[in-house]
Structure 1
């Protein structure tokens, strides 16, 4: 091995280090750093082509990531995951978790960890965590475990589940695709799941029993008043609750929902019932009673308009501004057009509020309206009636499409897992079916795809290829092999895993995959070891991102929700990294017989 790398190899190493520095520094957005990396590779190879190649070959290398099958697969899986979310296909799992949390906190935490681990095997980590955050926050508000003691363990379980299949994360697909380009055989979806599960046997007890004790109780810091809405439920004639007493009805309602009958009612449930709860509570109550939160004819007309226009219905919160025409009017006399009022939150008044505790009370400045409609109708309503829409909006789930979305996801994963077709083909076919069946609106595909992930993956593919063809991977592999040759196979695997883990926790797991995979191949050649376990060591190392908040996007998502500090991640994450590295290294040795 040469003592120093040649010019192209040195340039590849410098570009990789600069890319890592850009991620760690955080001054520039990830997309900008990724695009600059692609541009640097393209410009360098255009000005200084590789030996035996013309200047246009470098352009092809730099930009081929955008057309790589791994990127197509990742985008297709994003669309499949989006279909599962917008159709409400994951809602039954969320409801089951919420029921378990009502009985025993410790059993519920273990059940939640296992469910999240299993869900993230096939669904991207981010949607699973998005599903869990409100559940854990709601359970904490009702006297369960503080969210600050559960969010990091649940996030870790999601990350472990994501590392257990080839489609669990985009990084897994990136490592596997780079390895295939280097000559390794194609790995099936569940190829290395038993290896990860053998390590999870040791990790789950730590996350369940020890990790919460290492985390602070930040209940006071993160506590926020959940906005409750007054609403009127329209009960259909065939509802099993019709005719029952209000006490009997209350016994069947979700926890935290307050219900009473309108003035003049006889004591038994008829066509109307008044309730007070969060939006989630209102939705669950309406589901249990087969009721609706707005006139049924209006809801049916809106659903028809949504189907005809191909646009999703949205639910948004709007504040009554000081100059709103609605002040002093009731929902009945306001003459609302184009939207459905689902509920109203009465703002606290400086003096005693004399309004009745009812959704039919006159509206005042500061009240928050919960309204449903098409996006343009919501904007028109806000502009015309002097309302301020609170940032964001929530899409109404198309629950009728949930079985279709589940079937498409199961078919895509099933075909790939048994090896009938590559995951790139089955995932793309699944994404097309999500569009064709209306589970995902084509014009809203931007909500499914992450520009950051797309550009990052494309840049990582280009960097990995450049590291390989320039000889940088061979030089670094030889350098590391010189120090690893005296270690047993388990030690070699652990060292590679730790090397990639450090890169992942302080930079980007995609970039770590791009650098680590070709290096692992070269180390395997130098030490006479099979390449596959070393490549899996890289893949696992890219997913051991528990020790810092910047290691992965889900870590950042829970930072504010749990009011965590950098030290909280280190204190709870480093022991988990040690457990996983030890268990995975030993499992790889036994699995591959090295």
Structure 2
């Protein structure tokens, strides 16, 4: 076997250094990625590849920033952001709540299946962002502890994400690199059946076994949910008008208390007083056809939001000792430009005389739930002597939810039937999200991740360097010497395990960048079709269940479930083994090798 060239050795050393830097975690991902790009550019400028001039190396190093894979990934981030900010995913959340009320175990199964299918067309991170608060609320209401459900839910999302080319940015990267190497383009749903069949073997483990391997950290992560007193104003067209209290109790969430004004004599009129968490109050307003503030005021605030292009924010504010509002009621406070949605009363342990109603006088220490534009909320807090708490949330633009869903389905549908490449349909969908106001252009920074952008660009550059330097061919020949006596399923499993190890202890994008050209070269050496080996790399990059650093969603649930490193290892390694065996056998059967 011929020794690797000088450039091949440099490429392998740079890849190893990148993996080591990611595994150590002392530098930020963005810094490591930019250092890799700069190292390639500088090295190839000083020592150009045979037959190239000094500037060819610069083009190779920075090619990733203009690569269509990066454009597609950014477009899909914007599409996912549109679904989140318009509340298009809320119906799925409400469906899960209803199923969990029926049966916990059935609820967990339905949750896993729903997450798996949602993440096939929506990036993994937005799906998990939706699921974390849902699982936490279900646990607080007597469901399965969140620490026993978040890792299984995250695993289901990761499996769904590997089922299509658009499920994760890593999938797009692998497919794009393979296309650059000369392989025929892989369709959006081309390998979906393989993953779904493998998921049938993994699902019983995630549903029945994985929760038993995880601790019950309820006491550690449990947090008190603040409740607010609110006044619902029913729309004249509400179907609840004129009904009795028994019918009202059947409609409202269980964690909401209600009081009808005495003059209504037990019959629902235009006003209903409630007390409960903000999310439950929102759900109550939706079910009753009502609003938490005067309709004319909400319409004015929303018009101001549309006119200015700024998002509406819901924030909590504490009444300070010098506040003008102390002693005033919501009716006499003279609030302008912002809407009061609810009040959490600071009850004194002794000498409290205020009735627990939203119409009573405001006192020091009360928490006001306010909605408005960010600039108006800050001005209101400053002028009225209030302390604005951190953690305000954007109000979803629910009127645009159907439009956002149609745009996403159109972008995916056009690519899935082969009418246009996914890069074109995703870019068109992102433009439509901007044009229709589903995503505001000045908020695009919240949709795009700088870390992902530079990481993908660096991975593309590194993958190209590994290929053109001859490192991929040399490593492929080295692997072929050890794998030539294995059956095809063994070869695929070995590739998958190799990439999985890199993914779980470094980065899945860099594992994809290095593994894809190696697999392509290995296919030529062993005389095997390239596509199943490339898919083995793609699958291996997604088998990131065994460590918290393997993928960003793993880190997102770590604090929420109070997990430690051992929890991921104990529950993740068996799932990796199940998926490697199932996927390897299915690839052999599907491709007849």
Q: TM class, shorter-chain normalised?
A: over 0.9
Q: In the alignment, what sits opposite 2:197?
A: 198
Q: In the alignment, what sits opposite 1:271?
A: 270
1:241-252 correspondence runs (5 A): 241-252=240-251
Q: In the alignment, what sits opposite 2:2?
A: 2
Q: In the alignment, what sits opposite 1:157?
A: 156
1:17-166 correspondence runs (5 A): 17-166=16-165
Q: In the alignment, what sits opposite 1:590?
A: 589
Specify whether residues 45 and 349 from structure 1 end up closer, same or farther in structure 2 by C-alpha distance, changes over 3 A only: farther
Deviations along 1:241-281, one digit per CA (max 9) or x if unpaired, are 11222232112112211111235442222121111111111
1:413-432 correspondence runs (5 A): 413-432=412-431
Report whether the alignment pairs 1:177 with 2:176.
yes
Q: In the alignment, what sits opposite 1:255?
A: 254
Which 10-residue stretch deviates more, 382-391 or 561-570?
382-391
1:177-326 correspondence runs (5 A): 177-326=176-325
- 1-side partners of 2:279 and 2:200: how far apart? 34
Deviations along 1:169-204, one digit per CA (max 9) or x if unpaired, are 000000000000000111111000001011001000
Partners of 1:246 and 1:260 within 8 A in 2: no
- 1-side partners of 2:363 and 2:511: how far apart? 55
Post-superposition shift, 1:348?
Answer: 4.8
Which 10-residue stretch deviates more, 535-544 or 250-259?
250-259
Deviations along 1:489-538, one digit per CA (max 9) or x if unpaired, are 10010010011101111111111100100010111111111111000000
Q: In the alignment, what sits opposite 1:16?
A: 15
- 2-side partners of 1:141 and 1:159: how far apart? 25
Partners of 1:148 and 1:564 within 8 A in 2: yes
Post-superposition shift, 1:455?
Answer: 0.8
Q: In the alignment, what sits opposite 1:468?
A: 467
Partners of 1:146 and 1:219 within 8 A in 2: yes
Equivalent position SS for 1:185: coil
- 1-side partners of 2:17 and 2:348: how far apart? 56
1:382-393 correspondence runs (5 A): 382-393=381-392
Post-superposition shift, 1:350?
Answer: 5.5
1:547-558 correspondence runs (5 A): 547-558=546-557
Partners of 1:253 and 1:285 within 8 A in 2: yes
- 1-side partners of 2:324 and 2:572: how far apart? 54
Q: In the alignment, what sits opposite 1:567?
A: 566
Q: In the alignment, what sits opposite 2:512?
A: 513
| Matched residues, number | 593
- 2-side partners of 1:194 and 1:439: how far apart? 32
RMSD: 1.3
Post-superposition shift, 1:351?
Answer: 4.0
Partners of 1:71 and 1:458 within 8 A in 2: yes
Which 10-residue stretch deviates more, 356-365 or 367-376?
356-365
Q: In the alignment, what sits opposite 2:343?
A: 344
Deviations along 1:415-469, one digit per CA (max 9) or x if unpaired, are 1001111000000011111111111111111111111111111111111111111
Which 10-residue stretch deviates more, 11-20 or 254-263?
254-263
Equivalent position SS for 2:499: helix
Post-superposition shift, 1:326?
Answer: 2.7
Equivalent position SS for 1:572: helix
Post-superposition shift, 1:314?
Answer: 1.5
Return the TM-score normalized by structure 1.
0.98
Specify whether residues 386 and 24 from structure 1 end up closer, same or farther in structure 2 by C-alpha distance, changes over 3 A only: farther
- 1-side partners of 2:479 and 2:351: how far apart? 73
- 1-side partners of 2:39 and 2:171: how far apart? 25
Equivalent position SS for 2:340: strand
Post-superposition shift, 1:166?
Answer: 0.2
- 1-side partners of 2:141 and 2:448: how far apart? 35
Which 10-residue stretch deviates more, 393-402 or 341-350?
341-350
In structure 1, list runs of 5 or more residues that go unmatched.
none
Deviations along 1:214-259, one digit per CA (max 9) or x if unpaired, are 1111111111111111111111222111122223211211221111
- 2-side partners of 1:364 and 1:449: how far apart? 42
Equivalent position SS for 2:99: helix
- 1-side partners of 2:79 and 2:501: how far apart? 31
- 2-side partners of 1:115 and 1:78: how far apart? 20
Partners of 1:513 and 1:539 within 8 A in 2: yes
- 2-side partners of 1:383 and 1:476: how far apart? 64
Which 10-residue stretch deviates more, 377-386 or 27-36?
377-386
